[in-house]
Amino acid sequence: MANISLNTGLRALMTSQAALQTIGHNISNANTPGYSRQSLSIRASAPIRMQNLWMGTGVDATSVERTVDQLLQRRLTGQVSSLQRLDASLSGMREFEALLGEPGGFGLGSLLDGFFESASSLATNPDDIVQRSGMVQATAQMISQFNQLASHVDSLTVDTAQQVTVFVDQVNVVSDDIVRLNQQIAQVEAGGLAANDLRDQRDQALENLAGLMDITYHEDTNGAVRVLTGGQLLVGPQRSYEMQATIEAGASVSLMIEGATEPVTPTGGTLGGLLQFSESFLPRQSTQLDALAHNMILEVNRLHSAGVPATGPFTLLIGETPLLDQDGDGQSGDELLADAGLPFDVESGVLYVQVSQASTGGMSTHVVQVDAAATTVDEFIADLNAIGNLSAAVDSSGRVQISANGGYGFDFSARLNLNPDSAGTLGGSKASIGSQPSQDYALVDGDTLNLTGPLGPLSIQFAAGDFADISAATPEEIVAVINADGAAIANNLRAVAVGDQVFLQTAAGGAGESFSIQGGAAAAALGWAGGTVVSGSDLSATVVVGGSYTGAANDLLTFRPTMDGTVGDTDGLQIEVTDSNGVVVTTLDVGADYTPGTELGLGNGLTVSFGYGDLSATQNDAFVEHVIADSDTSDVLVALGLNSLLTGSSASDIALRADIDADPAALAASATGAAGDNGILLGLISLQNRSLGELDGATLGAAYGDMVGNVGFDIGSAQNAWGVEQFLANSLATRREQVSGVNLDEEMVRMIQFEQAFGIASQFIQVVNDINDEILSLV
């Protein structure tokens, strides 16, 4: 009986000691992250039968258990993943926002305004070299900011990719820790003991891993956890599977787990946040920035390419953009203009080329047709070479090069030909006759045009080989045949194409000049009757066009007299003006009530005046004037980089044309080439407030403002989401602390409780021992 009592006392003593040890362990780890409060599980020990009584034998400490809510722990782990994702993404977005320098006047927005303000300042005095230099400097500053922002985006992308590799290494380290803990837990619990501290460490490791990436995990019957991410096994019971990060082209990152066949894309944790920032946020900013730069280049160059620099029309112009050999046959000439690797789309449209003579100021306007689906590079070059006094080629670098013959210049402006009847085909002094208007003349191989010139009869023969299609001969083709005929040259006869007419003229003017039409099938096709005598005049109805065209569309105005008569002398003499569709635009009275040289209104900002001279409807007098609203509706100049202000096509490669940077006089401020003209500058100024379709109807400034605003909105949304996630995380952490945390006050109470139990158990043993001694003394 004494032994049983002593054993009971000893059990009580040892149980109290174990409880105190557990309490001490709790107190020691009160501030240890992830630690779960432990408690000693005790129960009454098995009773024994003595003297027909079941006698208790004391207490047994069965196990040390940790207090944990597994569901709560899983929710907290998942919350950590969401919070860290937002934290990483938000950090990157704030860094990008700082690089924008907005608001504050140090960003691209103020430099865009500065560019337009410099154009406005120069517009007040377009010939001022100081103002020109100021605009070039403002343009360079704007470009530099575009380049810097693009570079910053690239740097952030690369830096983020490097950060991803660092955190992937951390994933592998934590994964190895979990495997080690799995093994230790299995070893400990194989002996029937609870590996409480090891499990706390593993829960903390899982939480750390969730902070790096989104994971799911479950525990098997042996106590080991398996961890998956994106449906792929990352941690098994006995080993981890290494994650590898590969930085690919463009600094994109591919994550592969050992043994997997498909990459994994984290959507949570720091890795998920970094990838969201680098693969979603940054590309979106880059796209918007490039779109802004692209449209800036496009719209500015559309205007500038049609301008005339301070030095006047070009004698040589080289494109900034090389053509590419897309089909790999060693030449770019057979490529469609639309498919030649140009940074801007070539559309179907027209290009107006103005060729001027330096000594006389005489100008001719030429139209080059561009079919986006059909015109090749070679065909475009051939069309340019077909223009008199102009040569074009593709140089060794693949760039289009255009040059003018000596004494001539060219440009692509929308300027008016102020003296459009330089050939004298309406009331000129030369002997001149015009054909019936027609786009295509039905000739036959072998047709002749029989004439009598100063030297006698001559016959001009038309051969099929001289035409693309002789049955639909164009005025230009007919003119080329006549002007190449030796007999015509010898007789001082020449032909010119005016609109859709062919004019046959003497080389000189005056009443003594004449020739006659004798007949021939070609003469009939042109509408000339045999026996017609064509005589010159000592008068010349000089034509002068003035004003500035304000119409919205390109057009070709044709001027024809309604009868034969003398300007300012013949009653009822009128000149009918028709557009390119043959519709009468206006009819001008130039009869007896008209004073020669007086300006007459044509509408759309234009005027015209006529000198004293003889007009002939009988001989089909006419002249044409091109009125141009847009000199390049095909955008071929912008695509080829001809007379551009800006080069490149995106924020990273936008640049100022090198020769303009070196010499501001090359800046094309004028729309006409006239001194003091500021037409191009006015167009640039209006561009500031123009809505652009490619920017969803926004202006350039508004598009940039939207970009900055969207960044701020993204950051604000992320901050709000982060605040919500942080609140949830704190709430779950508080609940976990309530469930599993160590409360020192409670531990103190339990410590006193078991300290007293330990003391009483000691006294109980002492009492039992004293009783035993007393019994022994009685024996």
Class of residue 716 by CB neighbours under 10 A (exposed 0-12, middle 13-18, buried 19+) = exposed
Tell me the three state secondary structure of residue 32.
coil
Distance CA 164, CA 172 (A): 12
Q: How far is CA 384 from CA 105, 403, 488, in A?
A: 47, 10, 27
What's the rounded Cα separation, in Å, for the pair 458 and 455?
9
- The residues of the chain scoring below 70 in pLDDT are 1-2, 779
Q: What is the pTM of this model?
A: 0.86
**Which tokens sit at 465?**
């080989």
The two tokens of residue 27 are 């107190």
Question: Residue 309 to residues 312, 406, 506, 644, 674: CA-CA distances in angstroms?
Answer: 5, 19, 37, 11, 10
The DSSP code for 470 is G
pLDDT of 762 = 82
Question: Residue 1: its pLDDT value, please?
Answer: 52
Q: Interior CA angle at 297 toward 291 and 298, to 5°?
A: 85
* Tokens of residue 643, six digits: 């007379």
Beta bridge partners of 450: 459, 519
Q: What's the Rg (C-alpha) of the chain?
A: 47
The CB-based long-range contact list for 470-474 (8 Å cut-off, 24+ gap) reads 470/443, 470/444, 470/445, 471/440, 471/442, 471/443, 471/444, 472/440, 472/441, 472/442, 473/440, 473/441, 473/442, 473/443, 474/439, 474/440, 474/441
Nearest to 378 by CA among 423, 410, 331, 330: 331
Cα dihedral across residues 426, 432, 438, 440: positive or negative: negative
Say what the pLDDT of residue 773 is.
77
